[in-house]
Amino acid sequence: GQQVMQIPQYQHVQEGEDFTTYCNSSTTLSNIQWYKQRPGEHPVFLIQLVKSGEVKKQKRLTFQFGEAKKNSSLHITATQTTDVGTYFCAGLGTASKLTFGTGTRLQVTL
């Protein structure tokens, strides 16, 4: 079945540093979504990417969808303590439900 992996599993940065998480799917995706889960809370939808090579920005967050539609990345510029949480990519393949990635836990310290 479809598998979605993310690296790194965990990253600890100082506030103000940049952060990137990478997402790779075993199969071609029709679209990819990103979610953020704060500790002890449920995942919250951030964004959806549909087109090959698509780039979207949300303030300090930049999302990219690979040309082959099998990978994606999330980059955060100048991290803040409010960015703490686990970031999941989730891919939609041939089935009609999302397959979530393994997640990258981000810790930000002052």
Partner 1 sequence: DTGVSQNPRHKITKRGQNVTFRCDPISEHNRLYWYRQTLGQGPEFLTYFQNEAQLEKSRLLSDRFSAERPKGSFSTLEIQRTEQGDSAMYLCASSLEGQGMSGYTFGSGTRLTVV
**Site mask for partner 1 (CB under 8 A), range 25-54, x = bound:** -----xx-x-x-----xxxxx-xx-x----
91 binds partner 1 (CB under 8 A): no
Which 8-state DSSP code applies to residue 27? S
Residues 56-75 that bind partner 1 (CB under 8 A): none
Stretch that binds partner 1, among 13-21, 58-66, 69-77, 84-92 (CB under 8 A): 84-92
Residue 88 backbone dihedrals phi, psi, to 5 degrees: -115, 135
Residues binding partner 1: number (CB under 8 A): 26
Tokens for 108, please give them: 């930000």
* Residue of 90, 85, 105, 82 lying closest to 34 (CA atoms): 90
